Structure 1
Amino acid sequence: MDALTGLLEGLRARGAFMIRACFDPPWAIRVEDRAPLTVMVLVRGEAWIVPDGGERLRLRPGDLAVARGPDPYTCADDPATAPQALILPGGACHHPDGRPLNGVMDLGVRTWGDRPEGGTVMLIGTYRMRGETGGRLLDALPPLLALTADVWDRPLTPFLMDETVRDAPGQEVVLDRLLDLLVIAALRAWFARPEAQPPAWYRAQADPVVGPAVRLLEDDPARPWTVAELAAKAGVSRAALARRFTRLVGEPPMTYLTGRRLALAADRLRDTDDTIGAIARQVGYGSAFALSTAFKRAYGVSPQEWRNRAAWRP
């Protein structure tokens, strides 16, 4: 498994929110939906993304932006334009004073705004839930990033434009997978940029000693790895691997492995009906008790409590 595959493997949209937004200037939308990840592609016109803190971004046709939640931001034709609508969790839309918009801006299937032929057209896809494995990806991103049209691969844009407004059987699944592909294409381009600051473990995979060890742990986290076995496969002594791994990744090999296993367990508790004992075996623990002990130490709740809470998350 290469570094980017390991980072992106938790990216799985499930009933994601997809919309084509169409506006005539002046326009501004305040976004306070607390979504973990939102991607925006400007198809026509010009737009600004203005976070409450940090630098604002200007988008031109073909440009793409990714916003990492939960911090709010404003999308507008101009940074000085006052918001006309407020987006809240669950896709609820209100006037800035709190009054519901009640579908006033609905323009048809997954289309929203002033008019379908508006001067500004933007595709917006939002992931509603933060998965624990995907959390590694979110933690690796800045709160807001942008890619200009010339630095990312854009063949998905026209296809996504068509599919977003299509009303056909299985359309939610089609859009989920297209959104995943769009974000993967964007992040692949982002992590190749000199301004990107990927996490230490990601950068460490370029190291000739630590890189193979990290990939082994990523490929087979359920295996009963030891530092000695990893060192043998990397062709160095146990002490040399432990020292180099800790320096480059920021934590010892077995601590890294524990975090990986528990993140996988958290995802499976949320996404499957497997028993805790079965999940324990899948991620490398000998029993439900062993997983529960490690899980509660890391997350502060038992696996069952985690599963119950996840069932109630929007």
Structure 2
Amino acid sequence: MTQPPGNHAVLLDVSVDALSDVLDLIHLRGGELTMARPGEGSEVRHRAGGRVLHIVQRGPVDLRVTGGEGTVLEQGDLVLLATGAEHRLRPEGDGAWMSGTFLVEEQEAVPLLAVLPPALVIRGSEAGREWLPLCAQTLAAEIAVPTAGSKVMVSRVLDLLFILALRTWSASAGPREAGWLTAALDQQLGPAMRAIHRHPERPWSVEELAGLASLSRAAFCARFVRLVGEPPARHLSRLRLARAADRLATTSDAVGAIGRTVGYASEAAFSRAFSRAYGSAPRAWRIARAGGSSAAP
């Protein structure tokens, strides 16, 4: 495409965006948006398992995660509860907030999001949070006067808030638990993680991945184990099987063909690896999944 004189196209460097690939893997999508105005002395409880965020419109609001300490949220604050922690919110005075839900592929999301704190609080009053009031205003407008496209608009804004919250968490100081998400957000491991997640079928060598991370073989392996929690080969195997499970659940492709697409040379090798991880052979797992039950690796 020809650019007008004086204009320059700026392309995103997708080679380092492992986070997008990881979020694609868990099929993240924003769900429903609701408004809560319970009144002073009342509270709203959220059972374990739901992945939600809350944005305070009028504060203060007391947040308490079951088994954890309480946190006071003020007007404009956001809290993301991406791990599905049970919690309750109680307003002081006429506090009010919006709550948004998220849908994910649980099997892949559980290990990915487990590195996050039960409640990730982002203060709207802090510098660099200009995106938060803009998103909050958009959501408030859509919930107040729903119109054509509101459902899709809300879903997209919730997705955006989820990603921005992850970026904020990644940029904050402090130690990180080992996990996929920690590594995907790491500047050095990010390119290698993207390569693995984009092409798990390739016979990646440690040397190749270390080159993508601009690290020596030894430094790469040490950093990978520290941030991911397992060696590169084990992570690649886990990813291949997760991709295979997703295709078994969502397509009618032959088992052998699915195995080949994720890097297994034979159906027998794929079946053995899948059975060790998921507790049953691919065909049996697919039948059980279709019947409403599945085994997690």
The aligned runs of 1:181-220 (5 Å cut-off) are: 181-195=160-174, 197-199=176-178, 202-203=182-183, 206=186, 212-220=191-199
Which residue number corresponds to residue 177 of structure 1? Answer: 156
Give 1:131's match in structure 2, choosing from 106, 110, 120. Answer: 106
Q: CA deviation at 1:67?
A: 1.6
Q: Provide structure 1 residue ranges, at least 5 long, that are not aligned to the other structure.
A: 79-117
Query: Would you say the 8 A contact 2:33–2:99 is kept in 1?
Result: yes
Once structures 1 and 2 are overlaid, which stretch shifts more, 120-129 or 196-205?
A: 196-205
Q: CA deviation at 1:254?
A: 1.1
Q: CA deviation at 1:167?
A: 4.5
Structure 2 Cα separation of the partners of residues 156 and 164 of structure 1: 12
Query: Would you say the 8 A contact 1:133–1:264 is kept in 2?
Result: no
Once structures 1 and 2 are overlaid, which stretch shifts more, 134-143 or 280-289?
A: 280-289
Once structures 1 and 2 are overlaid, which stretch shifts more, 58-67 or 260-269?
A: 260-269
Which residue number corresponds to residue 11 of structure 2? Answer: none
The aligned runs of 1:80-95 (5 Å cut-off) are: none
Residue 192 of structure 1 aligns with an amino acid whose one-letter code is: A
Structure 2 Cα separation of the partners of residues 258 and 179 of structure 1: 32
Which residue number corresponds to residue 254 of structure 1? Answer: 233
Which residue number corresponds to residue 64 of structure 2? Answer: 50
* Total equivalences in the alignment: 272
Change over 3 Å in CA distance of 1:167–1:279 after alignment to 2: farther
Change over 3 Å in CA distance of 1:304–1:166 after alignment to 2: farther
Which residue number corresponds to residue 73 of structure 1? Answer: 87
Change over 3 Å in CA distance of 1:198–1:158 after alignment to 2: farther
Query: Would you say the 8 A contact 2:22–2:197 is kept in 1?
Result: no
Q: CA deviation at 1:229?
A: 4.2
Change over 3 Å in CA distance of 1:205–1:168 after alignment to 2: closer
Which deviations, in whole Å up to 9, do the C-alpha atoms of 1:145-186 show, x marking residues without a partner?
Answer: 211003432121111122235545654443322221111111
Which residue number corresponds to residue 283 of structure 1? Answer: 262
Matched, 1:145 2:120: yes
Q: CA deviation at 1:239?
A: 6.5
Q: Provide structure 2 residue ranges, at least 5 long, that are not aligned to the other structure.
A: 1-15
Matched, 1:20 2:38: no
Which residue number corresponds to residue 292 of structure 2? Answer: 312
Report the aligned-residue RMSD: 3.4
> Tell me, what secondary structure is at the counterpart of 1:23?
coil
Which residue number corresponds to residue 24 of structure 2? Answer: 9
Change over 3 Å in CA distance of 1:229–1:187 after alignment to 2: closer
Query: Would you say the 8 A contact 1:132–1:267 is kept in 2?
Result: no
Structure 1 Cα separation of the partners of residues 124 and 222 of structure 2: 42
Which residue number corresponds to residue 281 of structure 2? Answer: 302
Structure 2 Cα separation of the partners of residues 75 and 221 of structure 1: 42
Structure 2 Cα separation of the partners of residues 289 and 246 of structure 1: 29
Structure 1 Cα separation of the partners of residues 98 and 290 of structure 2: 29
Change over 3 Å in CA distance of 1:235–1:14 after alignment to 2: closer
Which residue number corresponds to residue 161 of structure 1? Answer: 140
Matched, 1:30 2:45: yes
Change over 3 Å in CA distance of 1:69–1:309 after alignment to 2: farther
Query: Would you say the 8 A contact 1:30–1:75 is kept in 2?
Result: yes
Structure 2 Cα separation of the partners of residues 134 and 38 of structure 1: 14
Change over 3 Å in CA distance of 1:295–1:26 after alignment to 2: same
Change over 3 Å in CA distance of 1:217–1:240 after alignment to 2: same
Which residue number corresponds to residue 200 of structure 2? Answer: 221
Structure 1 Cα separation of the partners of residues 250 and 63 of structure 2: 33
Structure 2 Cα separation of the partners of residues 242 and 185 of structure 1: 29
Residue 237 of structure 2 aligns with an amino acid whose one-letter code is: T
User: What is the TM-score when the length of structure 2 is the normalising length?
Assistant: 0.75
